[in-house]
Structure 1
Amino acid sequence: MEPSKIRTNVWVVERGGVRSRSDQLATEEPLEIRLTHPRRTVAITMRTPGADFELAAGFLYSEGVIQHREDIDRIRYCVDPETDGQQRYNIVNVELREGLAPDLQPLERHFYTTSACGVCGKTSLDALRIRSEKIPVAQLAVPAAVLYALPAQLQKAQGLFQATGGLHAAALFDHQGQLQMLQEDVGRHNALDKLVGAALLAGNLPLSEQIVMVSGRASFEIMQKCLAARVPIVCAVSAPSSLAVALAREFGMTLIGFLRGERFNVYAGAERIAGIQR
């Protein structure tokens, strides 16, 4: 398997001077996710090697292809002797349980960019309404002080980012703000798929009392994947998109953006933040 980081030489230009030094880069390689029955490639994504099985499982779960951990019989790398040895680690084969007839229709949205028909936010939300339910407002109420502490924990746990400066992260916290798990990847969505996939394979879904924080912005796909895992509170370092906010409000999720220092914006679900006036 490819390493998650590699070394390279760079020229550093600083204050009129030039020097050469060694640097580390986040590895970026393609990962092809295949189903064995029916035999089909369901996704090709550029990712950082590592937690590939979790990435495949999380992707299939968040896209609605599987519903339970037991829907997966086996995940393994490609063993086709005709495939180059190193390349085999860029192909993951997922064998679903016998008799399962997966719904592959949700995967069609990944081909919108090459479709002749138009696609809008309403279409995306309509597709979610068919297979997703609103997250109920439970007794979960998180103090603002708990949220203030999340970015520092996320940053401290980003080992690959500290080495390369080129990775996104998705972190899982309990409702008391304790870090439970973190995944890194060159792709924001991949990092979250790895996080959800790890929880799925460990039998820890749904994440109905947890908090997810992402290192970048909150997009529609980030929120859609969190909704599938039943995450009630999603935090982002940067801004959310308009469709992310619409999704959060419709499905009863709490969405927080610009979480930096002792400040954040609440775009939806303020009732889960204890002690703030609404």
Structure 2
Amino acid sequence: MTRVMDRRRITRYRLDGAASHREDRLAGEEPLEIRLGGRAFSVTMRTPGDDFDLVAGFLVSEGVVAEPGEILALRYCAGVDEEGRQTFNVVEAQLRPDVALPDTSMERHVYTSSSCGICGTASIDAVRKSARFEVHDDDGTVKLSVLASLPDRLRTSQKLFDRTGGVHAAGLFSREGELLCLREDVGRHNAVDKVVGWALRRGMLPLRGMILQVSGRASFELVQKAHLAGIPTLAAVSAPSSLAAELAEESGITLVGFSRGRTLNCYTHPRRIEADPSPE
């Protein structure tokens, strides 16, 4: 049985030698198997919840779909635990007949793994070929003050983090700073996929003029996901990697790091950041 959060009795120690017993809350983490055409496609470890959004976003990130009509149905497959209860840990995606099923050969798995550490020109070329949306021509801007405020706006909406302290968050914001969707997960890539899947299922892709704010660092993988969803601005509270900045530069994404309220660093395409008017 899937759980977004679990409880566990712990022993809490202090350096003065005192110890106490208490109950702690932990973020749930369980495997999710994604099936296409009745065949296993991928398995990811995730925090249960918003699973259909996760699967839809994952398929966008893999370059399989980009329109809501390309996914005809999403459903949980039968699966039970040792006590005979439905696990809700297997999701079947039924694709439109004209949507090509992805290659499940070893070569395809290498490309998937590239977002987890395999760097180089080949991986960037693969992302460029998979993208259906052009980001370079997205001229939407965001005021500097709005962009700097997004980490705090994201943090105040992180309900699961408040209870467990153990999840990442991704939030989709309008250029005016309105929070449109927030998702939390033990995996930062899953949190982004859940946001992208939410948008795909509502027919919102490409996400022109939008800002994706994430709670951790900006990796190559997250820039890749933003690119495939047509998101022009990606902001993170921590640092980007060198390959993330390289992909953002090539794909036309404004990449922001170390966004900490009063300061932020822009690594690529600063033209989308609009300085606030000077006080009179």
- Do both proteins adopt the same fold according to a TM-score greater than 0.5, normalized to the shorter chain? yes
Q: Name the counterpart of 1:146.
A: 146
Query: Counterpart in 1 of 2:46?
Result: 47
CA offset at residue 83 of structure 1?
9.7
Shift of 1:87: 5.8
What residue in structure 2 maps to residue 20 of structure 1? 21
Separation in structure 1 between the aligned mates of residue 81 and residue 257 of structure 2, nearest angstrom: 47
Shift of residue 141, structure 1, vs aligned partner: 1.9
Q: Give the 5 Å matches for 1:2-13.
A: 2-13=2-13
Q: Distance in 2 between matches of 1:27 and 1:273?
A: 37
* Alignment match, 1:254: 254
Structure 1 residue ranges without an equivalent (≥5)? none
Distance 1:180 1:186, change over 3 A: same
- Aligned residue pair count: 270
Match of 1:273 in 2: 273
TM superposition shift of 1:168: 0.3
Give the structure 1 partner of residue 191 of structure 2.
191
The residue type paired with residue 215 of structure 2 is: S
CA deviation digits over 1:213-237, x for unaligned, max 9?
1111111110011001110110001
Query: Quick check: 1:217–1:237 contact (8 Å CA) kept in 2?
Result: yes
TM-score by length of 1: 0.90
Is contact 2:139–2:209 with CA below 8 Å preserved after alignment? no
Q: 1:231 and 1:101 mapped to 2: Cα distance?
A: 24
The answer to whether 1:225 aligns with 2:225 is yes
- Give me the CA root mean square deviation: 2.3
User: 1:169 touches 1:182 (CA, 8 Å); kept in 2?
Assistant: yes
Structure 1 contact 172–213 (Cα < 8 Å) conserved: yes
**SS in structure 2 of the partner of residue 89 of structure 1:** coil
Percent of aligned pairs sharing the same letter: 46
Write the distance in 1 (CA, Å) between the matches of 2:27 and 2:33.
19
Residue of structure 2 in register with 1:155 after alignment: 155
Deviation digits for residues 241-270 of structure 1 (CA, Å, limit 9, x no counterpart): 111000010111100001012111100011
Partner of 1:234: 234
* Bigger shift: residues 83-92 or 195-204: 83-92
TM-superposed CA distance for 1:202, in Å, is 1.4
Contact 2:134 2:230 in 1 (8 A): no
Q: 1:42 to 1:83 in 2, by over 3 A?
A: farther
> Which residue type is aligned with residue 46 of structure 2?
R
Distance 1:101 1:270 in 2: 37
Partners of 1:148 and 1:111 lie apart in 2 by: 32
The 3 A distance-change label for structure 1 pair 13 and 64 is same
Alignment-mate amino acid for residue 14 of structure 2: E
